Amino acid sequence: MGTEAKRLVKGVDLKLQLDLSVLPGLNALLNSISAIFIISGIVAVKRKRRDTHKRFMFAAAVTSAVFLVSYVIKTIFYGTTPFGGEGLIRAVYLTVLFTHLTLAIGVVPMVIASVLFGWKGRLERHRRIARWTYPIWLYVSVTGVAVFFMLRPYY
């Protein structure tokens, strides 16, 4: 589905065609990359490779932020995609979606706090919140991809 955007540039009317149908797939890719960065960051910190950990977690935060912007754009211009499944698969989908959305909303301030505490060298506070942030953030990234594949037949 395309969305038209018009701009007036020095008296010239330009019509831009934006193909937003790529955004769901892009969002799933961004979530996948975030999950890989999160896992890589955790592995690095467990191996006492702090600088590598910082780079991976910063990359995960940036990737998640890009996802969030892309998701908002997709939702504003393309809307949401209804799930067409029935029975048990619908119950599974709604459970995954509900937990994904609920935790996605809650994890945003946790990610921001974790990144800021780590960035500022407040490592005790960083560790305290990051031990909760990491599994929730990873769950949200992975279930975001799962929701995409569950909705894939309906795009």
Q: Residue 87 — φ and ψ, nearest 5°?
A: 75, -140
Residues 6+ apart with CB under 8 A from 62: none
pTM for the structure as a whole: 0.85
pLDDT value at residue 1: 46
Q: Are 37 and 64 in contact (CB under 8 A)?
A: no
> Which positions ≥6 away from 75 have C-beta within 8 Å?
none
User: At 84, which helix (H) or strand (E)?
Assistant: none
CA dihedral 56→62→67→73, nearest 10 degrees, is -170
Name the residue ranges covered by the structural domains of the chain. 21-154
Residue 143: name the closest of 108, 110, 109, 94 by CA: 94
Write down the pLDDT at residue 153: 82
**Chunked mean pLDDT (size 10), the chain, 155 residues:** 50 64 94 98 97 97 97 90 94 98 98 96 96 98 97 81
CA distances for 137 relative to 6, 15, 31, 140, angstroms: 37, 39, 10, 5
